[in-house]
Amino acid sequence: QVQLVESGGGSVQSGGSLRLSCAASGDAIVSYVMGWFRQIPGKEREGVAAIDSDGGTTYSDSVSGRFAVSRDNAKNTLYLQMNSLKPEDTAMYSCAADPVYYHGGSLSTHEYTYWGRGTRVTVSS
């Protein structure tokens, strides 16, 4: 079992930056595919960034060029650097993990077994 705990959310003005962290425990995530997802009330969860065990990455069109996903396997932690934030980035952000390899990671919720509870990001105009 893997437990995931997100941190780093908060309120920021449009154009600002935040870095989210996802600390894993219960198992080493070095071989896991990891992803970041976000959800607005009343809407489906959306995949925004993912990273595989080799460091290959995938981004949604809505965040490509602004967000960067990375991992520090020594710290068992996943990160999401978010730059040039927009009001439409406001959401609850969650991280996810799965032991099955998927090249570049996956932005589909169906590919992940373990989920964190999320951290809220609010971007004001």
Q: What is the chain's pLDDT, residue by residue, as a tens digit (125 residues)?
A: 899 999 999 999 999 999 999 999 999 999 999 999 999 989 999 999 999 999 999 999 999 999 999 999 999 999 999 999 999 999 999 999 999 988 888 999 999 999 999 999 999 99
- What sign does the dihedral 36-72-117-17 (CA atoms) show? negative
Q: Which residue in 125, 112, 102, 122 sits closest to 45, CA to CA?
A: 112
Quickly tell me which residue has 């040039």 as its tokens.
84
Q: What is the 3-state secondary structure (H, E, C) of 24-91?
A: EECCCCCCCEEEEEEECCCCCCEEEEEECCCCCEEECCCCCCCEEEEEECCCCEEEEEECCCCHHHCE
